[in-house]
Structure formats: C-alpha cells, structure tokens
Amino acid sequence: MKIIKNNKIDESVYIETLENGMKIIVVPKKNTKKKYVIWATKFGSIDNNFIEPKTGKEIKVPDGVAHYLEHKMFENENGIDSLYKMMALGLDANAYTTNDHTAFLFAGTDNFYEGLDELMNYVQSPYFTDQNVEKERGIIGQEIGRYDDEPDWKLYVNTMDCLYTNNPIKLDIAGTVESISKITKEILYSCYNTFYHPSNMVMCISGDFEPEKIIEEVKKRIKTKEKNEEIKRIYPKEQKGINKKQKEANMGINMPMFMIGYKDELEQCDDVVKKDLAIQIILNSLLGKTSKIYQELYNDGLLQTSLDISYEYSKTYAHVLIAGESTDPKKVYEKIEQTLKKENVSEEDFERSKKKIYGDIVTEYNDVEEIGRMYLSDAIKDINSMDYIDKIDEIDIEYVNEILNKLFKENESVLSIVR
C-alpha cells in the first residue's frame, strides 16, 4: 500500500493497486459520521470505438452506449432494482456517465457494509435481456428529449461543436434517439466485458475508516481476480484549431446565455496539474468577481451574476470555458477577449488568487463526498489529488503569464449563445 501524507493540511491518502489491476483510494476522515464510496470505470461517451481485448476485433458501438449501460446496471435477475434496495437501507445512491468515465456511488451514516455488498454485487453482475434492453429505450429517449430542452446543455454542446471538428466530446453523452435504437444486449455485454474489468476501474472511499480494514473488505467482494489485457481505444484524429467561430440557438429563456471556449493543445503540456492551477489563477485574477473587467461589466449592466469559469481536460481533450448571462453577449465576449489578449496577471492579483485557490482546495477536504469525487475525477486522469496542494507552491507569476500568453493570446476563441 502506498501512503501519501501532507503535513500542510494534515491529511493522508492510502492507495493500493490489487493484483487484478483495480485501484483503491482511501482518504480517512476521523470522527465523521457520513461515509462515501464511488466506484468508476474508465468508460465514457467518447469510448465508442475500441479493440476487444479477448478477440482482438475492432468494435464500433452506437453513440450513448456508456450511458445506456449505466442505466441497465441496477437491474437484477431477481427483478429487484439495486438503486431502490440501497435507498431502502437509508443510503443516498446514484450513478452518472461523463465523457471519460461512468461512476456508481452511495453515501450514508448507517448500513455502509450492506450498501457495499449491494454496490459491488450489481456492478459485477450484469443482467441484460432483449426485453429489459428494449424497455429502457423509451426511458432514455425521454431523457434525451429533456436534455435537448435544457438551455445550459444546449450551450455546452454547441460550444463543443465550435471547438472540435472530429473529437467525440462533440457527441451527446446520452446519444440520440436514433443511435440508441441500435443498442442491443450483445453490444452491452461486449462493452461491459471490455470496460468493466477491475483493471479499468477505480474505487475511492472516504469516512471514518481504518484504511487497511476497508481495503480488505473490498477485496472480499471482488469477483474477478485476474488482470485483463490493456484496452486499446480508437479516436479520430482531431485537427488543429477550432471548428467554427460561433453558434446560436433560440430557446424559451428570459435572458440570453453565452459560453466562450478556448481550445488547448494538451499534448504540449509536461505537468497538467501545474498548468490547471495556473489557468485557475489567470481566470480568477482577470475575470473573477474582484477583477476590473467584471466590475466594469457589472456596472454597465452587462452582467448580473459572476462568470462561471472552468478548465476541463482529460487525456484526449482540453479547453477553457467562460459562461454567463447578459443582455448583450457579443459585447461581453469582445471585452473578455480584449482583457485576456492584452492584460497580464499582476503580482497583487497573483498572490490573492493563489491564496483563494489554495483555500478552495483545502475546503474540499471538509466533506467526504467532495473528497471522493475529487480523488475519483483526478484518478481517471492518472493524477493524485494531493499534487494540487504541493504544486501550487511551485507556481510563480512568470509561469502564469507564460500560460496566459500561450493559451489565450495565441489561440482563437469560440462563442456559443442561447437567446
């Protein structure tokens, strides 16, 4: 077992990789009543083309399979839905699918080991039939329709379409009504057998646990002991630069919404954690609530709330997103563009933003659910979350402004608007 201690924040993380390749991460929190576990497979909406490890055959599956598979995992041969069974235990259980992973989780104060039994049983015991796969089609079709009616989702999807030409991040996570009509139980089993092997999975646990004991409890419940061959994913080659400059949509909303995107070339980066922190400092310094441009836009009535700013990245994509609501999205876009292309981060803003971001990271350790989600998300990218605490001290203002000049001043931006 690998133990990483950080004396600055008085936190420790325990990491063990089992013989079958599965990684278990435990962050103990003494004297907390709530317990949290999240178990994920590195299988998301972008993984629709791969080589099947056992046969060596190339497989191309319909869009939306990862999400469809997530829905079907709760169904058991005895007809009992595991989600309802866990809720009956008083546990807050859920699941979700993203671009690069699918996760199953629960939180609670009591009946933890009963919940762990159920979680590790249903995730390792798929039950697909022609009938139950067909039954789910209408349910997911309705979910796709609801997403299509969500202005936030439309804004995001259109931004991805502007930023990327071929990257499958452009695809809707749930697929389309047409694509899910092609999903069969055979396709679900093929994807399950490929991606739901322990060697492609990560489990994060946080709460008042003895790390060695909880890891032994997990080991008892693992059914597959052998390691699998490496999964070969096939992704289309993405072109340099953006796909299109702007995209607009009209929906039933009171205030226009906008999202500005900057595409990042991630393969040029040697240290993604350090770069992520630098981008957070840049965005907070130049566009945060205390920034000059935000105050100007707010005073002019162009912004009513703070900007939603983020840096999203994985092994196959990376981009900065800046979103908000405005009576004149194009004017806001022009002013933000000018700021990011002409301004540098000052020493004063650098120090202030660095302290704020450090405080935000430390605050996440106060809640077991935040800890679990943070460590899981980073583990999917092969990052240890503790690195963020250590590396923030390595960042200086010269590095921050170097990233600012490369990412925001050399790359073309895109604009998505929902009116």
What is the signed CA dihedral for 299, 296, 353, 374, rounded to 10 degrees?
70
Q: What is the pLDDT of residue 268?
A: 65
Determine whether 369 is an active site residue: no
CATH superfamily ID and name for 246-418: Metalloenzyme, LuxS/M16 peptidase-like (3.30.830.10)
Cβ 388 vs Cβ 273: under 8 Å = yes
pLDDT in the model for residue 72: 97
The side-by-side arrangement of strands in the sheet containing 49-51 is: 58-60, 49-51, 232-233
> Whole-prediction pTM value?
0.95
Catalytic residue among 11, 70, 118, 343: 70
Residue ranges in the chain whose pLDDT is less than 70: 266-268
For residue 415, the model assigns a pLDDT of 98
Distance of CA 54 to the CA centre of its chain: 29
Chain mean position to CA 179: 23
Quick check: 159 and 261 in contact, CB under 8 A?
A: yes
Q: CATH number for the 2-233 domain, one of 3.40.50.11900, 3.40.1030.10, 3.30.830.10, 3.40.50.2300?
A: 3.30.830.10
Q: List, for residues 206-253, the tens digit of each pLDDT value.
A: 999 999 999 999 999 999 888 888 899 999 999 999 999 999 999 989
Ranges of CATH 3.30.830.10 domains, the chain: 2-233, 246-418
pLDDT of residue 76: 92
Number of Cβ within a 10 Å radius of residue 329: 23
Return the pLDDT at 54.
Answer: 83
In this structure, is the dihedral angle defined by the CA atoms of residues 156, 161, 162 and 163, taken in order, positive or negative? Answer: positive
Any idea how long the chain is? 419
Reported as a single tens digit per residue, the pLDDT across 340-366 is 999 999 999 999 999 999 999 999 999
Which of helix, strand or coil describes residue 125?
coil
